[in-house]
């Protein structure tokens, strides 16, 4: 019931079978308690449940539990409310659920927190050439060959020398083909 959800505390929310909570009832869970959900519980949230989380609930997610958050369908405001530090802990699979349009909503600070292990999940078509410049060189080196091949001319022209230096021979070959 709603009153039971509101009574949850940091000590017992981790045990909640959250995937069974009706989408409309998630609002009854105090936003601060979302910090105590396990990573597995956050990963079991349906995309519909995630879309219906409040901005405060999303902001409460932590680096320890955000990895498998289903981002599909999140509005620009809800994507941008995610702390950049936590955003950097999203898995490649979580980032794959973002549409090209949603990728365009990612802030520069969030983009800068991506690393080579999760950037492979990102649809780079949605990243502006200005934001491509802000990626760390090692993150650019972590791009898949398909991602490099899909870069627009303006994105390639925006790469710095240090970013290009991190590209492997195979990645460079698709730029010149």
Question: What's the rounded mean pLDDT across residues 136-143?
Answer: 91
Please tell me the predicted confidence (pLDDT) of residue 13.
57
Please tell me the predicted confidence (pLDDT) of residue 2.
52
Burial class (CB in 10 A: 0-12, 13-18, 19+), 94: buried
Please tell me the predicted confidence (pLDDT) of residue 38.
83
Determine contact, residues 174/149, Cβ cutoff 8 Å.
yes
DSSP, residue by residue, 108-173: HHHHHT--TTTGGGS-GGGS-HHHHTTS-HHHHHTS-HHHHHT--HHHHHH--HHHHHTS-HHHHH
**pLDDT digit string, tens, across residues 81-135:** 999 999 999 999 999 999 989 999 999 999 999 998 899 898 888 888 778 888 8
Please tell me the predicted confidence (pLDDT) of residue 14.
56
Determine contact, residues 86/61, Cβ cutoff 8 Å.
yes
Cβ atoms < 10 Å from Cβ of 150: 14
**pLDDT digit string, tens, across residues 11-39:** 555 555 666 667 677 777 788 888 888 88
> Of 41-45, 62-66, 140-144, where does mean pLDDT reach its minimum?
41-45
Distance between CA atoms of 147 and 120, rounded to whole angstroms? 7
Please tell me the predicted confidence (pLDDT) of residue 160.
93
Distance between CA atoms of 33 and 61, rounded to whole angstroms? 9
Question: What's the rounded mean pLDDT across residues 5-10?
Answer: 52
Please tell me the predicted confidence (pLDDT) of residue 81.
94
* pTM for the structure as a whole: 0.81
């Amino acid at each position: 019931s709603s009153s039971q959800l509101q009574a949850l505390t940091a000590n017992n929310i981790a045990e909640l079978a959250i995937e069974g909570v009706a989408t409309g009832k998630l609002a009854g869970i105090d936003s601060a308690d979302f910090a105590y959900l396990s990573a597995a519980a956050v990963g079991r949230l349906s995309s519909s449940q995630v879309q219906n989380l409040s901005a405060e609930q999303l902001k409460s997610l932590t680096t320890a539990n955000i990895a498998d958050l289903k981002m599909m369908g999140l509005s620009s405001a809800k994507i941008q409310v995610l702390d950049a530090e936590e955003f950097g802990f999203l898995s490649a699979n979580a980032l794959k659920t973002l549409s090209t349009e949603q990728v365009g909503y990612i802030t520069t600070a969030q983009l800068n927190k991506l690393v080579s292990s999760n950037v492979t999940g990102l649809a780079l078509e949605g990243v502006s050439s200005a934001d491509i410049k802000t990626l760390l060189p090692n993150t650019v080196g972590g791009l898949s060959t398909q991602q490099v091949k899909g870069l627009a001319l303006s994105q390639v022209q925006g790469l710095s020398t240090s970013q290009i230096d991190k590209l492997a021979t195979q990645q460079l070959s698709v730029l010149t083909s």
